Structure 1
């Protein structure tokens, strides 16, 4: 039986785990460190760009785990899965029986796809989550004629946008597309990219609406979670049948999949029965309905879990068990959140949590004080949807605003969509789609809570450079 010993043990080779390892290598290079990963491929961040203090865009790609030796020569890599965690004796046992003695451990096991029913007995139902599943999807695309996409988050949206030459039926339980991230107005703006009749040089439209959180158009479905694939993952898709570039797409709103049945005597091998009574046929189904925290190992002491099934962590990413930390999709942010921050299971937050966990673990060993990172003051997410840059800030859909609030919109078809959420004249959140160059200004306005009442609708007047007011 193999046995290892290290000051720090990090479990998981995703963004949270790798960020934690990289941060510990910088903070405490003289201490021993082990990463336990089930795959020889790990997720790595590159091309990090800052649009503002907290707004970060980066690329995610797969790389060999051995590349981590470049930043930490004393790092040990154990290729296995965690089976049992003995937190009393501080021993981690892997599936193959390897024992790892540690001082501090950080659990970064990520999430597992929340697949639709019948997925276990039907190989034609694919859950898109990691590199291997994307490769399997590519194989299906080569000969597929018709597919059903289930889900309404970033992954489903980009599959619809990036694939050509195949019939697509997009099944969503909401009444507009991309509801995980955007509101109905932004969804309509993005949906224009699926059409070929966008008229250029439209004049900007400025509108003011007042909604309450109960309004179905702007309320957030708090049960929705983002899936865990990184920015620009869809560029891996290579559909060589993209000759016309046309979209063959049908969107079915406000329905869910009830069952998937395999057939042998029909044109298409799958019958997908929907909750509206309709049955559609296809070659395969893509299930992109989010993730669940992956806690598949056993414990000697049961930790506290959050409402979403993740390991409950405080502001320093500590679990309820001494010397056990957690970060990324497996963690549930159970501290009292800043007014403009909330948790969504995104690569952005996995990276933030992994870095925070490393700082807290280092301070625990060195007996130094550490404060929560500033990035947890404001929810930010930068991604791409339907070919547009999308930046989400603060309470971009009015999340948690119990009283009435105002929404200010500016939209130019095919160019930009800007939405401000204001309460008592102060900016609470924003959606920025396109090259708006308003990211830093919006960040400052939300964090500083400047009263904007005097500006009225001129905040988004396209003839006024509002940046000049806040330089």
Structure 2
């Protein structure tokens, strides 16, 4: 199969690209290749001012996109190979799609502190967020590693269990605000949450949970309101309890038997004063984390919120494409890669033009890299 345009990725970047192409070239076929059975689309678009738009982001079945744009064909299949010289991409099912113009919007994957450990969970898409909610139900203590947007919101939202927050920086949330603001916010992390939520004064992003697929493919990025449809309360009696370990990282993850062989006692906290908290500080945890500051904490499971890695692997082999230091495909101010007729958008790419000193690329949180 071939078409004038092929877009790889069913996230908001890929879907928006496909929609614009379909609108601008109604007589041309646009192929959207997505590894997930669901796609993310911008809906309810409103022009608020000359440069400000308001919209919702929904996760929906691909048929809804095809119904709105008859010249878009959505193919549920991951791309395994790019042959830029032949101007075609190969899917995991063996199908080949030729193109005149190609846009890569394959997103990114969680950069976990360790791979293949059942006690370490990364939160990236809808399925992983629901798995986190399932594990949280019976949890007494959770270790959160990372200092980005998902970690910050997760630590604030979690209730009914102890939360140990491990960050390598001096202050929390340093990606978003300075150390002074971080110090001001720490009491809010450790205090009880208000019964009535504070009014939100920005665009809200929602997900249709009923449409979540059953496949194992990694879905699209969650967006800033990922926790809106989840119950982030464990079954413990106490409410909001957070202990922060700054300027350290995880050096080792130990299973219960490995920890017992060390013949040491797990670390406790100054906050551990009540009988309830002390009862959760025994040495019978399923998993333990050893930190660079020498402390060892037991927990029920670990959340690795340590950023993402651009999904560039299928597009690198045999293609002389320029890659940035963070692993993303380099793009110029027209979103062009170093390969002819190939563009990129979202978490898979990195801005590589001369930018203002105030420029900051945001990736791995809202699902858009540029």
TM bin (shorter chain): 0.7 to 0.9
Where does residue 90 of structure 2 map in the other structure? 93
1:32 has 2:49 as partner? no
* Aligned with 1:246 (options 221, 224, 239): 239
Gaps of 5+ in 2: 194-219, 261-282
Q: The residue matched to 1:16 in structure 2 has which SS?
A: helix
1:78 has 2:75 as partner? yes
Aligned-residue offset at 1:134? 0.2
1:333 has 2:351 as partner? yes
State how far apart, in whole Å, the 2-side matches of 1:155 and 1:304 are: 29
Does structure 2 retain, via aligned residues, the 8 Å contact 1:162–1:237? Answer: no
Does structure 1 retain, via aligned residues, the 8 Å contact 2:81–2:91? Answer: yes
Does structure 2 retain, via aligned residues, the 8 Å contact 1:228–1:291? Answer: no
Aligned-residue offset at 1:245? 7.3
Does structure 1 retain, via aligned residues, the 8 Å contact 2:144–2:166? Answer: yes
Q: Go from structure 1 to structure 2 and tell me whether the alpha carbon gap of 1:143 and 1:241 turns closer, same or farther (over 3 Å shift).
A: closer
Does structure 2 retain, via aligned residues, the 8 Å contact 1:122–1:262? Answer: no
Q: Go from structure 1 to structure 2 and tell me whether the alpha carbon gap of 1:19 and 1:245 turns closer, same or farther (over 3 Å shift).
A: farther
State how far apart, in whole Å, the 2-side matches of 1:90 and 1:41 are: 26
Aligned-residue offset at 1:188? 2.6
Does structure 1 retain, via aligned residues, the 8 Å contact 2:139–2:234? Answer: no
Q: Go from structure 1 to structure 2 and tell me whether the alpha carbon gap of 1:261 and 1:47 turns closer, same or farther (over 3 Å shift).
A: farther
1:65 has 2:62 as partner? yes
Does structure 1 retain, via aligned residues, the 8 Å contact 2:161–2:236? Answer: no
Does structure 1 retain, via aligned residues, the 8 Å contact 2:46–2:54? Answer: yes
What is the 5 A alignment of 1:183-332?
183-196=178-191, 228-239=221-232, 241=234, 246-264=239-257, 266-298=283-315, 299-332=317-350
Question: CA offsets per residue over residues 441-467 of structure 1, 9 Å max, x none?
Answer: xxxxxxxxxxxxxxxxxxxxxxxxxxx
Q: The residue matched to 1:136 in structure 2 has which SS?
A: helix
Q: The residue matched to 1:185 in structure 2 has which SS?
A: helix
State how far apart, in whole Å, the 2-side matches of 1:28 and 1:189 are: 51
Aligned-residue offset at 1:338? 4.0
TM value normalised by structure 2: 0.79
Does structure 1 retain, via aligned residues, the 8 Å contact 2:170–2:247? Answer: yes
Q: The residue matched to 1:233 in structure 2 has which SS?
A: coil
Question: CA offsets per residue over residues 288-308 of structure 1, 9 Å max, x none?
Answer: 011111112144432111122
Does structure 1 retain, via aligned residues, the 8 Å contact 2:139–2:235? Answer: no
Where does residue 136 of structure 2 map in the other structure? 141
State how far apart, in whole Å, the 1-side matches of 2:225 and 2:167 are: 22
Highest RCO, 1 vs 2 (Cα 8 Å, sep ≥ 6):
2
Aligned-residue offset at 1:98? 0.4
Q: The residue matched to 1:133 in structure 2 has which SS?
A: helix
Q: Go from structure 1 to structure 2 and tell me whether the alpha carbon gap of 1:254 and 1:48 turns closer, same or farther (over 3 Å shift).
A: farther
Gaps of 5+ in 1: 199-226, 354-471
**RMSD across aligned positions (CA):** 2.5
State how far apart, in whole Å, the 2-side matches of 1:346 and 1:48 are: 23
Where does residue 175 of structure 2 map in the other structure? 180
Aligned-residue offset at 1:7? 0.9
State how far apart, in whole Å, the 2-side matches of 1:175 and 1:50 are: 41
TM value normalised by structure 1: 0.63
